[in-house]
């Protein structure tokens, strides 16, 4: 029984890690996260705070159709409230 529980915990950890890595790669390439949900957004359709399971992103960007360079322009990434990365698109 303990072995099955341990295997389940390991599988859940790797699932969580997959979600985190997928969202981080997308945001690091200046795209919106796929799995994190927008909680506090601006009127431009994308800037704001995105929260996942134990991680979050603060994103600023150009998301209106008339914007010349659409997408994320800057981000800050957090895991359990600790800043791990940030970036600005040139």
Range of the structural domain that residue 77 is part of: 2-88
- The per-residue pLDDT for 16 is 96
pLDDT, average across residues 50-59? 95
Q: Is the pLDDT of residue 90 over 80?
A: no
Q: Indicate the average pLDDT of the chain.
A: 91
Task: Give the chain's domain count.
Answer: 1
- The per-residue pLDDT for 42 is 81
pTM surpassing 0.95? no
Q: Across the beta sheet with 37-41, what order do the strands follow?
A: 37-41, 48-51, 55-62, 71-79, 82-88
How far is the C-alpha of 81 from the C-alpha of 57, rounded, in Å? Answer: 10
In the structure, what pLDDT confidence band is assigned to residue 15 with cuts at 50, 70 and 90? very high
């Amino acid at each position: 029984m303990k072995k099955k529980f341990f295997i389940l915990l390991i599988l859940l950890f790797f699932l969580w890690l997959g979600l985190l890595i997928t969202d981080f790669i997308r945001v690091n390439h200046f795209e919106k996260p796929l799995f994190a949900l927008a909680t506090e957004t601006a009127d431009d359709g994308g800037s704001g705070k995105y929260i996942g399971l134990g991680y979050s992103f603060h994103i600023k960007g150009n998301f209106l159709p008339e914007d010349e360079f659409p997408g994320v322009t800057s981000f800050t990434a957090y895991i359990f409230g600790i800043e791990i990365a940030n970036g600005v698109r040139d």
